[in-house]
Chain A
Amino acid sequence: MIHSLFVINHSGDVFMEKHWRSIIPRTVMDYFFEAQRQVVKDNKGHEDVPCVIATPHHYLISIYRNGLYFVAVCMSEVPPLFVIEFLHTVVDILEKYFTECNESNIKEHYVVVYELLDEVLDNGYPLATEPNILQELIKPPNIIGNLINTVTGKSNVSSVLPSGQLSNVPWRRADVKYTNNEAYFDIIEEVDAIIDKTGSTVFAEIAGKIECCVRLSGTPDLTLSFINPRLMDDVSFHPCVRLKRWENERILSFVPPDGSFCLMTYHVGCQSAVAIPIYIRHNFFLPKENSQSQTGKIEITVGPRQTMGRVVENLQLSIPMPKFILNCTVTLNQGRATFDPVTKILLWEVGKIDPTKLPNMRGQIHIQSGAVILQSTPSVNVQFTLTQIAISGLKVHRLDMFGENYKPFKGVKYLTKAGNFQIRM
């Protein structure tokens, strides 16, 4: 299975390595660096480093997250998804521990990371990956803890071995106690869409997830029911959810893990019409190939469409320009626009849409002199949020708690975001 793990930063340094079986020399990473160089040579992004690289004796399976490559080295047949999923799980765990999994955090908490890695994998096979269990074995660092540690000279390893390792609910730690018992549910929906040149929808879909933050004492048993559960098709659950109950009654019944977690993800099929909250009128052209002019034009107007009575907020348009473009000069009636000459991305942070005064951008595109102009059209990636509404219309009916006697504080929040929302120009 997984023999070793190397963590590599942006500048190509291996700054952490961990071996679960015999030691694999660092030189094996040369194959990876070669692939990385190739990608840079081809003018591609970091995303384009192949995630599986076969070398004569090893197989390098890597993921790229937060500017870091996590490269697992395998030596024999293994489902690649198994390794990829595992690496992502590790990063998720690290994120839970350090809020952000970046180079400086990992370097700062070498020992914790190392202990975690030691705990999640044994001989290359996953051992314990449930955050709740791990947090009992190895205490996450925090500022107060650090302070105490430096004063008393203790570390983050919990000195009392947890008895809850084998708690009967594998995902929940035992003996949870809170003075304020609360359970928050965020229903977050993302609209994925491709809108073509003419403004008609080529493809639209809603993907939702329910993020929970549950801090309840004891072993509560929750049920969450929806007013219109039939909207959801193709769901996936946290292991705590009882599948049969969902199948028969469309009710989520579960004993939650402690802390925050993703309870379920769902999908609202493309069969039902998806409300597209915004529209864009655009005008984009590049100078003709042989013309003398070195400037093109861009003009974009954004307006609200089906917003279910909410205001479109945090609107942000990012337009990756062709490589031969030197600069863009634009005038706006709202927000802020920047052009990054390295990535060639024109970013317009619009903010709220005021239906009476539509945000508008117009300006010129400057071409690098002597560059060959290729008639290609960029597409606009759109970000926005609509608060207090799930665009599919999904609504929670009620949340009940069994198994404990106190009254928890319950809260549900709805949010709609743009997911992979693309408009072709």
Chain B
Amino acid sequence: MASGNLGLTYGGQEKTPSLSGETEFAAEAGAPGGLFHADYKRHDDLKQMLDSSKDSLKLEAMKRIIGMIAKGRDASDLFPAVVKNVVSKNIEVKKLVYVYLVRYAEEQQDLALLSISTFQRALKDPNQLIRASALRVLSSIRVPVIVPIMMLAIRDSVSDMSPYVRKTAAHAIPKLYDLDPEQKDELVMVIERLLSDQTTLVVGSAVMAFEQVCPERTDLIHKNFRKLCAVLVDIEEWGQVIIIGMLTRYARTQFTDPNINGTNHSEKDKPFYEESEEDDEKGKQTESLVLDPDHRLLLRNTKPLLQSRNSSVVMGVAQLYHHLAPREDVAIVTRALIRLLRSHREVQTVVLNSIASMSVNRKDMFEPFLKNFFVRSTDATQIKLLKLEILTNLANESNITFILREFQTYISSQDRDLVAATIQAIGRCAAGIKEVTDTCLSGLIALLSNSDELVVAESVVVIKKLLQTHQGSHGDIVGQMARLVNRITVPQARAAILWLVGEHCEKKRVSKMAPDVLRFMARTFANEQDVVKLQILNLAAKLCLSNPKQTKVLCQYVFSLAKYDQNYDIRDRTRFLRHLVFPSTEQALLAKYAKKIFLASKPAPVIESVFKDRDEFQLGSLSHYLNSRVVGYMDLPNFPAVAPDSNVRNVESPRPVIPVTSLRGNSASAPSKGKKKETFYSESSSEDDDVKDESGSSDSKSDSSSEMDSDSAESDSDESSSEEDPDDSVDISQQNIVRLSPSLSPSPPAQRLSRTLVIESSSESEYSSNSSDSDSNDSDKVVKSSRMPPPKSNLDLLLDLDVSDSAPVMASVSGIPLGTLASTPITDSSVQPVSAAYISTRPTELVSSISSGCGLQILYRYTRSINLYSPSMVTIELTLVNTGNEELTEVKITNKNMPVGISMHEFTTLASLPVGATRLVTVGIDFGDSTQNVSCDLVASGRPIKINFRPSVGELIRPVTCTEGVFINEQGKLKGMNEHSFSITNTLELEDMKNISTKIFRTTNMASINSSDPNTLRFAGQTLSSKSLVLVTILVGVNPKLTVSCEKMIIGSMLLAELKEALKN
């Protein structure tokens, strides 16, 4: 019940809340003077309900208030009454109060501050959902005063165990940024951290925050690019859309244009026929080489998303291909786009819009799907018009008859807009395709006798355009149209006819009719629309020049009518024409050329798609849809001429690309891994997959934890293979690997999560799963310490903060977390285990194939991950390779010769190891914080092979993190005998800092601690067995010095020696 949620305060039996609620209310009513007793008239009943002691009444009141908010009614005057209930132990009431707070906190900032401490406390709740919702509300209340608190909360939450909380933290980042853009630098650091998160749940939100806060920082993406590509399939749909959008922009800055050679080729081909073949070949070669492997990776990994059920994902991939892919590859998106046309009307509209734009330049892509764009009478008008546009764009010599026949049926449609657009479309087809111009023209002329005036008018306008583009004598047509002037009332059409008559007034048939037309128009001049009037003037001027005998008087009449027109455009035009046509003597110079001016042949209008100029916008964006720049639109950068260094994307220790699989794979069993696994430049063959599938299905029958094993085994094997031989890694992972003690790959969040779940499914509590996760003592303490704050009643909470002015509230509020860090003695919760910063990928040989005597080669490697069997064990991964000629059976470890205090957890016996096969197994050894030799026998086919494990001291440590303050504090305690230091002789420069860290990480498994002093490097670790802190400080600068502090003197001195050695090289 209400227990878990606010479990801090009370055990949470059903009855307690109501009891405490009562007392609290009684006290409250008297205590804090006027603050809550302002004179509010309205909603008195609600206030009473909220103040009551019964949760059911409170709930009812909250429901009604939420109803008011939903309807958009003002409920702000209830703020004081509602905010009190934020401490309610009833989760339902609490939730609704949160909703209310988010809505009104902005308006009543001072009062809202009263709730902050509740959230701060909830941020430390053991339940991840409570932590998450507290963070959500805290970051949503938009009160600028709490920016520092938000920052603190976000920073804490990004390293939370629960991916859900981390996701919420990612969501909180843009909120904080909106509230206070000054925090950007710090937020960027947080984003950087989130981007490297291994959990799919988090990554999408992290990229979203990136896009909102610092989209220009492409440098943050480099390291994560390959990971993002690899996990893309597993991210939730909305995250996919955002990541694809971001990657499109990223790719535009990092890769060269894949089509640059292709287009040049086709264009240059003709003029450069004489060029030698060699050159040509070279061109081809470069063409095939242009694609950066990462570029190809991106394209390949986004392709499966075309099968998403979410249309925006499909559209995202389509635009990515449109903007990034080589021309010939873009076509694969067509089918998926066509599929979206069966979706909702709104989706259709947007997709058709994009297709219309694509089809201008990529006809061949959509031509096979011509029929899918046929208009249905049930389509919405907008969709019909878009389909028509696409059909017109796709029209060519071979399909035009087909399209025209289809157009014919549209003309008899009931939708007037469609009819008009169809006629326009016919005009465009006619203008574009020479073969059908005449057919179309005669078809359009036939339409002139249609009973529908709209059809006629539209046809007239289109014919006018066509006649302009089409050379030849059109006297007949113009004559026929001139007769229509009487009938047509649509101004545009009348204007078009008049223009045509004027233009062709010297042609044989028209010349006779033209004066009559003018006479007719002169009579109705006063009642015409402005467009028509202008054309009448035009016609009059032209006729007067070509046929002055018949029309001069008429022309003067028209001009004088127009002289007194209301519209100044018309008056203006008249004045201009009059001086040209009827010149007074001094202006005769220009008038001489009047005929040339008026009757010159005019350039034909270009009839083309209205979607032609949309290329400047990114396909599928709002700007593209509206064809205007929208706030916040980022231009797609042009491809660079030379690609920037692609090495920036190399990750030092190849990050395991897989952790997701463990997320999905755990329950999903092995086969699912197939689809994400061979992401790195290798396309898997189907055979390989079959093998894997079999292994998968057999796995799935065993219990869930063994599935986990195979998972992490695979992830490890991927790490172990370097980038250059991806195929190998695939091979290894395809073996059916069975291991006893699964090691954690260096992706603690994901792994931790999935393991938590495994344990949960075996019906253990969440806490126990936590504790088995890291070392049991430690996390138990964490849990305890978070429970520790003494239970306070609700009243206390309010009294705590009952300060009228907000500034002191701030101080006291933000003081709480800082105080715990600075003053209180170190609790273990301040020292948190983290994942290894570096993991060696190269195994070292333990026993060579020759010395083993049976062709068995054994390699070993420290995985630096927490051992599942016992957290105090060092996890060692053994690679067993059978290089001999016979199959090895019964491979196992026997005869363990353990010194006191050392224990070992061996791997399960391998039934057989076929010739040439490779198996990965892990053993866990608890060295008891000593570097003593551990020897044992590995028996294969009955033959014992002696193996010796002698760990380097650096491997007996696991990394922990803490704040700098804690570090210094702890180091202060480890003085004297516990401190070993050494002055470094060779000068270390500041540039070498990174280099030094790398060396340290290679040698020992520690984590670096953020240091405020740029000349100091700090590393922290913890011995595996005894959990004593190991702290390393390196001073760089004038007196370079290396200091190792550790309670265990031997460990300290040995580590110092090893580090000394490492730094020398």
A interface, CB within 8 angstroms of B:
14-19, 21-23, 26, 44-45, 47-48, 50-52, 54, 59, 62-65, 74-82, 84-86, 88, 110-111, 113-115, 118, 122-123, 125-127, 129-130, 153-155, 157, 159-163, 165-170, 174, 192, 194, 196-197, 202-203, 205, 207, 219, 221, 233-239, 242-245, 247-249, 253, 255, 262, 265, 267, 270, 289, 320, 322-323, 372-379, 381, 402-403, 419-420, 422, 424
Asked if A378 and B377 make an inter-chain contact with CB atoms under 8 angstroms apart, the answer reads: yes
Closest to B60 in A: A153
Chain-A contact segment, one of B233-241, B424-432, B537-545, B733-741: B233-241
CB < 8 Å neighbour of A207 from B335, B342, B628: B342
Asked if A85 and B347 make an inter-chain contact with CB atoms under 8 angstroms apart, the answer reads: yes
Residues of A close to B684: CB separation below 8 A: 244
CB < 8 Å neighbour of B622 from A74, A126, A239: A74
Is B672 interfacial (CB 8 A cutoff)? yes
Closest to A26 in B: B72
What distance in Å separates the Cβ of B759 from its nearest Cβ neighbour in chain A? 12
In the bound complex, how far is the Cα of B674 from the Cα of A420, in angstroms? 38
In the bound complex, how far is the Cα of B312 from the Cα of A320, in angstroms? 33
Residues of B close to A75: CB separation below 8 A: 631-632
Closest to B668 in A: A255
In the bound complex, how far is the Cα of B666 from the Cα of A169, in angstroms? 8
Residues of A close to B961: CB separation below 8 A: none
Known A48-B381, A75-B631, A424-B409: A81·B351 in contact at CB below 8 Å: yes
In the bound complex, how far is the Cα of B92 from the Cα of A154, in angstroms? 8
Asked if A80 and B622 make an inter-chain contact with CB atoms under 8 angstroms apart, the answer reads: yes
Residues of A close to B92: CB separation below 8 A: 154-155, 157, 159
Asked if B669 and A402 make an inter-chain contact with CB atoms under 8 angstroms apart, the answer reads: yes
Known A110-B67, A123-B171: A221·B668 in contact at CB below 8 Å: yes
Asked if B380 and A169 make an inter-chain contact with CB atoms under 8 angstroms apart, the answer reads: no
CB < 8 Å neighbour of A420 from B378, B628, B664: B378
Asked if A375 and B663 make an inter-chain contact with CB atoms under 8 angstroms apart, the answer reads: no
Asked if A243 and B675 make an inter-chain contact with CB atoms under 8 angstroms apart, the answer reads: yes
Asked if A84 and B344 make an inter-chain contact with CB atoms under 8 angstroms apart, the answer reads: yes
CB < 8 Å neighbour of B335 from A50, A205, A234, A243: A234
Asked if A47 and B380 make an inter-chain contact with CB atoms under 8 angstroms apart, the answer reads: yes
The SS class assigned to the A binding surface is mixed
Closest to A192 in B: B342
In the bound complex, how far is the Cα of B406 from the Cα of A194, in angstroms? 11
User: Which residues of chain B from 64 to 103 have any CB-CB distance to chain A below 8 Å in the complex?
Assistant: 66-67, 69-72, 91-92, 95-96, 99, 103
Residues of B close to A233: CB separation below 8 A: 335
Asked if A166 and B163 make an inter-chain contact with CB atoms under 8 angstroms apart, the answer reads: yes
In the bound complex, how far is the Cα of B374 from the Cα of A88, in angstroms? 25
Chain-A contact segment, one of B122-130, B256-264, B1040-1048: B122-130
What distance in Å separates the Cβ of B765 from its nearest Cβ neighbour in chain A? 10
B interface, CB within 8 angstroms of A:
1-2, 4-5, 55-56, 59-60, 63, 66-67, 69-72, 91-92, 95-96, 99, 103, 106, 127-130, 136, 139-140, 142, 162-164, 167-168, 171-172, 174-175, 178, 201, 205, 208, 233, 236-238, 241, 245, 304, 307-312, 314-316, 335-336, 338-339, 342, 344-347, 349-351, 371-372, 374, 376-378, 380-382, 406, 409, 412-414, 451-452, 620-623, 625-626, 628, 630-634, 663-664, 666-669, 671-672, 674-675, 684, 686, 689-690, 693, 697, 700-701, 753-754, 757, 760-761, 766
12 additional contacts, CB 8 Å, given A19-B103, A403-B700? Answer: A14-B72, A59-B626, A76-B632, A77-B623, A122-B136, A160-B1, A163-B766, A196-B409, A242-B675, A374-B451, A402-B700, A420-B378
What distance in Å separates the Cβ of A397 from its nearest Cβ neighbour in chain B? 17
In the bound complex, how far is the Cα of B414 from the Cα of A320, in angstroms? 9
Asked if A236 and B620 make an inter-chain contact with CB atoms under 8 angstroms apart, the answer reads: no
Asked if A239 and B71 make an inter-chain contact with CB atoms under 8 angstroms apart, the answer reads: no
In the bound complex, how far is the Cα of B740 from the Cα of A142, in angstroms? 48
In the bound complex, how far is the Cα of B309 from the Cα of A130, in angstroms? 13
What distance in Å separates the Cβ of A205 from its nearest Cβ neighbour in chain B? 8
CB < 8 Å neighbour of A402 from B666, B697, B761: B697
What distance in Å separates the Cβ of A210 from its nearest Cβ neighbour in chain B? 12
Residues of A close to B336: CB separation below 8 A: 234, 236
What distance in Å separates the Cβ of B647 from its nearest Cβ neighbour in chain A? 30
Asked if B71 and A15 make an inter-chain contact with CB atoms under 8 angstroms apart, the answer reads: yes
Asked if A85 and B311 make an inter-chain contact with CB atoms under 8 angstroms apart, the answer reads: yes
In the bound complex, how far is the Cα of B238 from the Cα of A129, in angstroms? 9
Residues of A close to B623: CB separation below 8 A: 77
Residues of A close to B175: CB separation below 8 A: 123
Asked if A79 and B245 make an inter-chain contact with CB atoms under 8 angstroms apart, the answer reads: yes
For this complex, 12 residue pairs linking A to B, each with C-beta atoms less than 8 Å apart, are A44-B381, A62-B346, A78-B622, A88-B344, A127-B171, A166-B162, A166-B201, A168-B664, A168-B757, A244-B674, A267-B339, A289-B451
What distance in Å separates the Cβ of A189 from its nearest Cβ neighbour in chain B? 12
Give the A-B contact count at a CB cut-off of 8 A: 306
List the 4 closest pairs (A to B, CB-CB), nearest first: A76-B632, A244-B675, A153-B56, A81-B312
Known A161-B130, A163-B760, A243-B304: A255·B667 in contact at CB below 8 Å: yes
Residues of A close to B311: CB separation below 8 A: 81, 84-85
Residues of A close to B236: CB separation below 8 A: 126, 129-130, 170, 239
In the bound complex, how far is the Cα of B641 from the Cα of A253, in angstroms? 45
In the bound complex, how far is the Cα of B211 from the Cα of A272, in angstroms? 45
CB < 8 Å neighbour of A161 from B91, B406, B626: B91
Asked if B669 and A403 make an inter-chain contact with CB atoms under 8 angstroms apart, the answer reads: yes
In the bound complex, how far is the Cα of B342 from the Cα of A374, in angstroms? 31
In the bound complex, how far is the Cα of B371 from the Cα of A270, in angstroms? 9
Known A123-B175, A161-B127, A422-B377: A81·B164 in contact at CB below 8 Å: no
CB < 8 Å neighbour of B378 from A76, A162, A167, A422: A422
Residues of B close to A197: CB separation below 8 A: 409
What distance in Å separates the Cβ of A373 from its nearest Cβ neighbour in chain B? 8
Asked if B753 and A168 make an inter-chain contact with CB atoms under 8 angstroms apart, the answer reads: yes
In the bound complex, how far is the Cα of B621 from the Cα of A74, in angstroms? 13
Asked if B59 and A159 make an inter-chain contact with CB atoms under 8 angstroms apart, the answer reads: no
Closest to B675 in A: A244
Residues of B close to A322: CB separation below 8 A: 414
Asked if A167 and B309 make an inter-chain contact with CB atoms under 8 angstroms apart, the answer reads: no
In the bound complex, how far is the Cα of B171 from the Cα of A289, in angstroms? 65
CB < 8 Å neighbour of B412 from A81, A244, A375: A375
Closest to A321 in B: B414
CB < 8 Å neighbour of A82 from B241, B307, B686: B241
What distance in Å separates the Cβ of B231 from its nearest Cβ neighbour in chain A? 13
Closest to B140 in A: A123
Asked if A81 and B350 make an inter-chain contact with CB atoms under 8 angstroms apart, the answer reads: yes
In the bound complex, how far is the Cα of B23 from the Cα of A56, in angstroms? 54
What distance in Å separates the Cβ of A233 from its nearest Cβ neighbour in chain B? 7
In the bound complex, how far is the Cα of B633 from the Cα of A245, in angstroms? 39
In the bound complex, how far is the Cα of B690 from the Cα of A244, in angstroms? 10
Asked if B700 and A51 make an inter-chain contact with CB atoms under 8 angstroms apart, the answer reads: no
In the bound complex, how far is the Cα of B315 from the Cα of A78, in angstroms? 13
In the bound complex, how far is the Cα of B129 from the Cα of A23, in angstroms? 26
CB < 8 Å neighbour of B312 from A19, A45, A82, A153: A82
Asked if A16 and B71 make an inter-chain contact with CB atoms under 8 angstroms apart, the answer reads: yes
Closest to B55 in A: A153
Asked if B633 and A242 make an inter-chain contact with CB atoms under 8 angstroms apart, the answer reads: no
| Residue from A21, A64, A205, A373 with most neighbouring chain B CB atoms (10 Å) | A21
Residues of B close to A78: CB separation below 8 A: 622
CB < 8 Å neighbour of B164 from A114, A155, A159, A166: A166
In the bound complex, how far is the Cα of B70 from the Cα of A14, in angstroms? 10
Residues of A close to B308: CB separation below 8 A: 236-237, 239
Residues of A close to B630: CB separation below 8 A: 54, 59, 76-77
Asked if B70 and A161 make an inter-chain contact with CB atoms under 8 angstroms apart, the answer reads: no
Residues of A close to B91: CB separation below 8 A: 157, 159, 161
Asked if A221 and B669 make an inter-chain contact with CB atoms under 8 angstroms apart, the answer reads: yes
What distance in Å separates the Cβ of B896 from its nearest Cβ neighbour in chain A? 35
In the bound complex, how far is the Cα of B451 from the Cα of A84, in angstroms? 41
Residues of B close to A236: CB separation below 8 A: 307-309, 314, 336, 339
In the bound complex, how far is the Cα of B66 from the Cα of A122, in angstroms? 18
Known A77-B623, A79-B241: A63·B753 in contact at CB below 8 Å: no
